[in-house]
Structure formats: C-alpha cells, structure tokens
C-alpha cells in the first residue's frame, strides 16, 4: 500500500542535519551597529516628545489648580492664593494653593496649604512678551493696547504682592508670583500704592521647557472677573 506521506530516506535526514541555522557573528555585529545608529538618531525626536509632554502636563496642572483656587475661595468665602515659584536649583516650578482666611494680607502667620504643593520638573515661567514670534492657536485674549492681559506679578515690582514664604518638605520656599482669588471669585495679581487691589480683565503666564525651544510653550489665561480659565498652545 502506498503511503500518502513522503518517505524520508537516510541520506535526506543526514542532509537535513547538516543545514546550518541562525546568523553568523559578523552578521549580528552589523545588525547591532545599525540599531545603535538608529537609536542615536532618534534621541532628539524622543527628547522633543518628552519636552512637549512635560509642558502639557504642567499646563493641565496649573489650569486645574487655578480652577480649584477660585472654586474654594467662593465655597469657603476665603482668600485663596495660587502661589508660584521657579526653582533654579531644582530646575522646575513649585505650585501651591494657600488659604489666608478672611484677610487679603500676604502673611506666613495663619497661612496654610490647602493641599500638598506640586513640583513641575523641567518647566520655567515666562511672560508672553518674552515669547517673540510665538503665535498661540485658539482665541487667547488680545495684546492690543488697553486690553493687554496683566502678567502674574513678581514680588519686588511696585504693584505686586510681597512674596509668601512657606515650608515645603522641611525647606522654606519663597513663592514670589501670586494670584489671589477673592470670596466673590475675582482673580487679582496687582495692587496700587494704597494697597488696594487692581482688577484685571485677564491675568496670564507662560510655561516653557527649560531646555527646549521657546516655541514649545503653553499660555495660561485667568479671567480676572469672569470665571474663565484657559490654556493655549502654539
């Protein structure tokens, strides 16, 4: 009876045993060299993706904390401060929400964090004017005279609030950029010579990556009187 399966003769089996499989050492070395070159070439692209992601995360965190500060100020009928500090040593930005109760006075005494401060690594703070040539998509507030948003003021300016010094993880952090949200939900970053608040239509600050191009930025705008708070990217 003829079998439907092919007959494997001894000579065929011997030939199969002599067939070599896999790569030679020289072939493996060539493949590894090509892979290394491709990996090195992709590093700038990977760094850019990481940079963009850090800006996205930082902008989302800052926007969320601004929303929370306004909501808490109205709900608690207290003055809630959005506090920022750019840490040049650690190369990043500290964010905190501080409650000073019923007073709009900047004072460490009686001030307390509402939640654990947040550190944004690899991010720096800039004014919109510093980002020359950068156009933000969407519909940010205009920069025409009379309608130009106020930058979050830095302590030391004549019309800025004094810095707020708070303990974070055992060390003193000088939060020198402040926005206070009032019990009515207004956002204020400036005051006049008589210490009275200056109401802004818009308050803004830009975030950039410390080691990336300034074109990779995010612009946060906070409504001074309205409840709007939005982030824009180029």
pTM metric for this prediction: 0.74
The rounded average pLDDT for each run of 10 residues, N- to C-terminus, in the chain (234 residues) is: 49 48 62 55 37 79 94 94 94 94 76 91 91 85 76 87 89 93 93 85 92 82 89 91
What pLDDT does 140 receive?
86
Domain locations in the chain as residue ranges: 55-232
Q: Could you tell me if 95 and 82 are in contact, meaning their C-beta atoms sit under 8 angstroms apart?
A: yes
Q: 55-232, what's its fold?
A: minor pseudopilin epsh fold (3.55.40)
| CA pseudo-torsion sign 159, 148, 56, 50 | negative
Measured CA distances, 177 to 19, 93, 212 (Å): 74, 11, 23
């Amino acid at each position: 009876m003829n079998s439907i399966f092919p007959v494997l003769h001894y000579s065929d089996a011997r030939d199969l045993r002599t067939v070599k499989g896999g790569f030679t050492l020289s072939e493996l070395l060539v493949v590894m060299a090509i892979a290394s070159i491709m990996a090195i070439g992709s590093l700038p692209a990977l760094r850019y993706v990481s940079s963009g992601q850090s800006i996205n995360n930082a902008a989302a965190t800052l926007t969320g904390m601004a929303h929370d500060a306004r909501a808490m100020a109205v709900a608690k009928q207290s003055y809630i401060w959005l506090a920022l500090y750019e840490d040049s040593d650690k190369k990043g930005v500290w964010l905190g929400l501080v409650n000073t109760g019923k007073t709009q006075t900047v004072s460490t005494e009686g001030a307390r964090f509402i939640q654990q401060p947040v550190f944004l690594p690899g991010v720096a703070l800039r004014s919109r004017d510093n980002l020359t040539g950068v156009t933000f998509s969407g519909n940010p507030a205009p920069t025409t005279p009379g309608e130009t948003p106020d930058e979050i003021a830095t302590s030391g300016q004549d019309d800025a609030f004094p810095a707020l010094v708070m303990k974070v993880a055992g060390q003193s952090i000088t939060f020198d950029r402040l926005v206070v949200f009032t019990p009515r939900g207004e956002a204020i970053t400036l005051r006049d010579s008589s210490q009275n608040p200056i109401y802004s239509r818009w308050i803004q600050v830009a975030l950039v990556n410390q080691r990336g191009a300034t074109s990779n930025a995010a612009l946060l705008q906070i409504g001074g009187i309205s409840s709007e708070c939005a982030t824009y990217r180029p």
